[in-house]
Amino acid sequence: MTKAISPRTRKVRILATLGPASATPEMIAKLFEAGADAFRINMSHGDQASKVPLFEAIRGLEQKYGRPTTILADLQGPKLRVGKFADGKVQLVTGHEFILDRDKTPGNATRVELPHREIFEAAHENARLLLDDGKLVLRVVSVAPDRLTTIVEVGGPLSNNKGLNVPDMVLPLAALTEKDRSDLAFAVEQGADWIALSFVQRPEDLMEARRLIGGKAALLAKIEKPSAIARLDEIVEQCDGVMVARGDLGVELPPQTVPPLQKRIVETARRMGRPVIVATQMLESMIESPSPTRAEVSDVATAVYDGADAIMLSAESAAGKWPVESVSMMNSIADAVERDPAHGDRVHFTVTRPDPTTADALAEAAKNIARTVSASGITCFTSSGSTARRIARERPSVPILVLTPKIETARRLGLLWGTHAVHTRDVDSFEEMVAKSKRMALRHHIAAAGDRVVLCAGVPFRTPGSTNVLHVVTLVGDELKNHPGREGPDAI
């Protein structure tokens, strides 16, 4: 039996990562009810078989709650690591020399294997090597084909297979490993709506993933490398959405540079009409504590004020002690920020000038008309989702009700600001469009009797990319009289 749930009152979306603390259907449902709009499945941990029940549980929500669900599969990407030590662990001393080489012999306090040929090819004098999430810092002083000589700038303990970051290099390394290719094929087969690509350094890194996805999912680029910042506009142009992956950015760059970069990435994505997610350590203390710090609350609020499409929970919902409370807290923070009278002005600090197209002009006009006539919502018909993305880019003050005949489109829109997507049968005429818009606005509590709604669609119908109609309707309130049931994709 369907348990109807009204559209979210907030416009920013919440993306919750699933893991050991939230892997059961019951817990996933609780996260959804607490405010999660989309779910992230991290392919870095566990095998593919363990992910199948997660896909099934998320899709099971559609029958229970009568609305599309959204799944983002996050690929691991290349992992750079040092080799092993004879004693399992050494102490690097600041100011001392330390060698990284291709010798597989277990290391000691003066050297260790570096099993990544690409680093030797890209290394140069004065480049930094960061070990163990940036806790240790090496500086390259000389480069040979199979040997990097470095000076320890920040010492400390170093153990087997610790991670390595190379912020000063662009590696001749593909963003997809063999594991990633297998995980991508699996995720697409399971019906993932979004594929998140790690280790993006350049726009070309997105091409193979795009080809392998074959149009069956949307492609999201994780911005976590300094080299990606240098070509940000090109990368955003080549993907369907971006993530501000602050964890790795904060390792490879000085922490004080991350907040302005976050704003730049959000602004760039919004200007170019791509959904943008702000991620990592948003409510980190709630892994252990039932309440966040004031600084974390402010961090979440900043992302909402900046107009991010989605805010993400990582370990808080995946492995923490308080997964439901974390989602509920993020929901409460976002709701409070969006009720702030100053929120609308702050969101529009980013100027999103429309492209010289009819569709963009109508999207901007829909926002302005909705404000001028005090409409309760904007309804758009879309096959591909492009009309919804254009309207959402304008950040209107009212909800966007998206009606689409494609369930895949409805699911992908779960990461798009301000949208409530409904999978429903397509329309064949202007009159049918108007009638259905009124019914759906009432049924999904977007508007009530006497309210105005702005309609946006394309004529001829069933033609993707043909947005050319803008219409304002007033609801009488009896539009559901002869349509008492739900209007699913097979409804008449």
CA 407 – CA 112 distance, rounded (Å): 52
| Catalytic residue IDs | 40, 81, 222, 280
Instruction: Give the position of tokens 């926002």.
Output: 367
Asked if residues 100 and 147 have their Cβ atoms less than 8 Å apart, the reply is yes
Question: How far apart, in Å, are the Cα atoms of 19 and each of 73, 88, 117, 180, 385?
Answer: 13, 29, 33, 19, 30
| Whole-Å CA distances, 260 to 153, 222, 267, 359 | 26, 17, 10, 32
- How many helices (H) does the chain have, and how many strands (E)? 17, 21
| Structure-block tokens of residue 134 | 């940036």
Q: DSSP string covering 213-258, please?
A: HTTSSEEEEEE-SHHHHHTHHHHHHHSSEEEEEHHHHHHHS-GGGH
- Do 219 and 197 meet the contact criterion of CB atoms below 8 Å apart? yes
Cα–Cα distance between 397 and 389 in angstroms, integer?
15
Task: Tokens for 394, please give them.
Answer: 């304008």
Q: How far is CA 401 from CA 96, 341, 354, 374, in A?
A: 62, 23, 21, 16
Q: Phi first, then psi: what are they for 241, rounded to 5°?
A: -170, 165
